[in-house]
Amino acid sequence: MTPSASPKGIVFTDLDGTLFRSDRTLSVENRSVLEKLPAQKIIRVVATGRSFTSFLQAAGADFPADYVIFSTGAGVASLSNREILKTAALDRAAIFQTMDVLRRTKLDFMLHHPIPENHRFSYEHNGEQNPDFMTRIKEHGDWGKPFSSDESWEYASQFVAIIPPWRGVEPVDTVRASLSDMSVIRATSPFDHQSTWMEIFPAQVSKSHAAGWLCAFLGVSPKQTMAIGNDYNDLDLLEMSPNPFVVANAPMELVHRFPKVPDNDHDGVATAISAWSNRSGAD
Residue range 84-140, pLDDT digits in tens: 999 999 999 999 999 999 999 999 999 999 999 999 999 999 889 999 999 999 999
Say yes or no: domain 90-195 is CATH 3.30.1240: yes
pLDDT of residue 6: 86
Rounded CA-CA distance 279/155 in Å is 45
Rounded CA-CA distance 190/192 in Å is 6
Q: Where in the chain is the domain with CATH 3.30.1240?
A: 90-195
Q: pLDDT of 19-66, one tens digit each?
A: 999 999 999 999 999 999 999 999 999 999 999 999 999 999 899 999
Q: With contact defined as beta carbons under 8 Å apart, do 79 and 68 qualify?
A: yes
**What's the predicted TM-score (pTM) here?**
0.95
Q: With contact defined as beta carbons under 8 Å apart, do 191 and 136 qualify?
A: yes
Q: What is the CATH number of domain 3-87+206-280?
A: 3.40.50.1000
pLDDT of residue 3: 45
Rounded CA-CA distance 270/274 in Å is 6
Under the banding of pLDDT at 50, 70 and 90, the label for residue 281 is: low
Q: Where in the chain is the domain with CATH 3.40.50.1000?
A: 3-87+206-280
Q: With contact defined as beta carbons under 8 Å apart, do 9 and 225 qualify?
A: yes
Q: With contact defined as beta carbons under 8 Å apart, do 57 and 48 qualify?
A: no
pLDDT of residue 127: 84
Torsion (CA) 245, 250, 256, 262 in degrees, nearest 10: 60
Rounded CA-CA distance 252/275 in Å is 21
For 57, other C-beta atoms within 10 Å of its C-beta total: 11
pLDDT of residue 2: 47
